[in-house]
Amino acid sequence: MNPIPSARLALALAAGLFATGFAFAADSLDLAKAKAAYPLDTCVVSGEKLEPGDMGDPIDYVYKQEGKPDRLVRFCCKMCVAKFKKNPAKYLQTIDEAAAKTAAPAASAK
C-alpha cells in the first residue's frame, strides 16, 4: 500500500474535523452581533487598524474560557493571535475598558 494517498486522506479528514469544530465554536456566539458591538476598530495587540491590508483580512477569534461566555477578539493578523494567547487577561481588560468608555456616553445621553 502506498503511504502517500493514506497520508493525504488522513490530512483531509483532520482538516474536515477542524473545520467542523470551528463551526461549532462560532455557533455559541452570535458573530454578527458581537462584531457590531465590538468596541475597538484597532487590533487589541498591535494597535493596527482592523481592515484588509498587508497582513490580509482581520481575524475574528472566539475566545473560550470555562464558566464564562464566549468572547469575540479581533486581530490584524495571525501573529497577534499567538501573542494574545500568552496573556489573554491583559488584552481582554483592554477590550473591557474600551467597551465601558463606549457605554458611558450612551448611558449619559439618556
- What pLDDT sits at residue 103? 82
Whole-number pLDDT of residue 98: 96
Judge whether 70 lies within some domain. Answer: yes
pLDDT at 15: 45
Residue at 15 is within a domain: no
Single out the residue of 101, 98, 103, 100 nearest to residue 43, CA to CA: 98
State how many domains the chain has: 1
Nearest to 31 by CA among 66, 71, 4: 71
Residue with the three cell numbers 455559541: 28
Angle at 16 between CA 23 and CA 12, to 5 degrees: 160
Residue 78 belongs to domain spanning: 30-103
Residue 10 within any structural domain of the chain: no
pLDDT the model gives residue 48: 94
Assess if residue 24 is contained within a domain. no
Give, for all 110 residues of the chain, the pLDDT tens digit: 555 555 454 444 444 433 333 333 444 689 999 999 999 999 999 999 998 877 789 999 999 999 999 999 999 999 999 999 999 999 999 999 999 998 876 556 55
Report yes or no on 17 lying in a domain.
Answer: no
| C-alpha to C-alpha distance for 92 and 89, rounded to whole angstroms | 5
* Residue whose C-alpha cell reads 462560532 in the numeric block: 26
